Amino acid sequence: METYDYIIVGAGSAGCVLARRLSDDPSLSVLLLEAGPPADKFWVRAPAGMAKLYFHKQLNWNYFTEPMPLLHDRRMYWPRGKGLGGSSAINGMVYIRGHRKDFDTWRGLGNPGWGFEDVLPYFKRMEHNDRGEDAYRGVGGPLWISDPVVRHPASADFIEAAARVGIPRTEDLNGEVHDGVGFMQHNIRKGRRQSAYTAYVAPVRGRTNLTVRTGAFVQRIVFDGLEASGVELIEEGRQRTIHAAREVIVCAGALNSPQILMLSGVGPGDELQRHGIRQIIQSPGVGRNLQDHFYVHTSYRATRASSYNHEITGLRKYWQGLRYLLSGTGYLALGSSQVAAFVKSRPEEDYADLQISFRPMSFTYHGDGVVEVDPAPSMAASVYRLRPAGTGTVSLRSADPRQSPAFQPQFLTHPEDVKAVIAGIRQIRRILASEPLASRVLGEHMPGPHAVTDDEILEYLRTHGNSAHHAAGTCKMGQDAMAVVDERLRVRGLRRLRVVDASVMPHVTSGNTNAPTMMIAEKGADLIRQDALVYRASVDGGPN
């Protein structure tokens, strides 16, 4: 009987953190399972490689949503990391924690221990910020946080232009003042991506009490009554069952964790019955409350000095490649965006409900998932609503684990979301029309001068809007009837089973979600150690 104390399903942003922290105790045995392959590739390590990974056949689940009626029946592409590091191995590496009120709201929804002052120590514990330590930043943690190695003049001008239209400056978007405009930091160390695997697991991969398996596709959780006892998986073409002496911890992300629960008999009763799955427990919230940031991209033709498009296209891209290989610097060492502005869509908002991101380059997103840098000098800005009112669902397409789930994000179904994003487009235009940035602009390319009225801008959103790939909330924690886990991340009504990833967020955070997901796992590891369940009585001899 192959048995471990803890089985972690998914080696993504949360799973890698948990594996490191739980295996810090040499008396515990930890198994980390990943359906995808190792991710030790050049374009994973190089920050600019994110475009190469956007539709990668091995390192990406390559999901699509269901057709969305309000977006001209488009099936939107949803990339998700598949491999060691999960989405942290393919994302834009932006490090944003979210607003302190996000976490205070979590606590207010019946989750004691999740307010900002509760979670701040976990953020600090995981960080090594190259700015040094202060009341908000940490040093000495596994995850390296750095400033852009190139601060483009156009980015500095965006900050100045935003300040001139009334957006306050902030020196640290993760510090005391979140709302405002400033340079972002990234999970990059000496020019290399810091995925959760690179930061947390790779340095301790030789531990005898930590086992990491790739190509291990978990089909379902195995139960003994109402107690999780292990997992059933496919590995090297063979089906096997591995037992957990203490707990099974699902860290498969907001899109896959609810799928695994439902395939295991944990979910809405009608959903399970429809697919002939034996119900272990009725949990109506599994796969509900899907939240994501609806994202819209704008671009502007610019003077040559205002964009680095020409540096990463044509023959000059080879010079940038050589520069990167020799020094780990240059434009290939940058994250996805340089600057962010957190602003209100209307004065009545309690705190910023829009994130505007700016980059002194532009790209074209093609419907087949290909991302291509534009050949002409251009700048780009994007906006999304931070706290969406509309929520969607993750449901099963079939009882076959190999079939991808069905995703209905319900973008633009709530009028407040529509109004907010339209207001964001108008704020981008105000900033780009203000000096010193205005002198760099030669003309608006997208949405373009034809999109003036709210209806015309809405049509642009429907045609070109996308996902920011910040899915969350599908196994939310709380006390209400739709809560899937409690404040200790234990699946309600069951024993020895937890969910630890972005799916437990009651509400998606105000910004990029990778940092808060890793924080959830840092805190989750402490909760698991504090609960310290004894060996399951039915497991002979303890873990191997």
Question: What positions carry a catalytic annotation?
Answer: 470
Angle at CA of residue 196, ends 193 and 201, nearest 5° = 115
Each as own residue / partner, the long-range contacts of residues 235-241 (CB below 8 Å, 24 or more positions apart, any chain) are 240/2
Strands 354-359 and 363-365, sheet pairing: unpaired
* CB neighbour list of residue 384: distance below 8 Å, 6 or more residues apart: 293, 294, 295, 296, 354, 355, 421, 424, 468
Strands 216-224 and 227-235, sheet pairing: antiparallel
User: Three-state DSSP class for 321?
Assistant: helix
Distance of CA 73 to the CA centre of its chain: 25
User: Three-state DSSP class for 245?
Assistant: strand
Neighbours of 398 (CB within 10 A): 14
Which amino acid, one-letter code, is at 513? T
C-alpha–C-alpha distance, residues 37 and 471, integer Å: 22
Cα-Cα-Cα-Cα dihedral of 307, 309, 312, 315, to 10°? Answer: -110
DSSP 418-436: HHHHHHHHHHHHHHHTSTT
User: Three-state DSSP class for 250?
Assistant: strand
Q: What is the DSSP letter of 201?
A: I
C-alpha–C-alpha distance, residues 123 and 345, integer Å: 28
114-126 in b/e form (b: 16+ CB < 10 A) is: bbbebbbebbbbb
Q: Do residues 43 and 52 make contact, with C-beta atoms less than 8 angstroms apart?
A: yes
By CB neighbour count within 10 A (0-12 exposed, 13-18 middle, 19+ buried), where does 409 fall?
Answer: buried
- Sign for the CA dihedral angle at 502, 508, 509, 511 comes to positive
222 phi, psi to nearest 5 deg: -95, 135
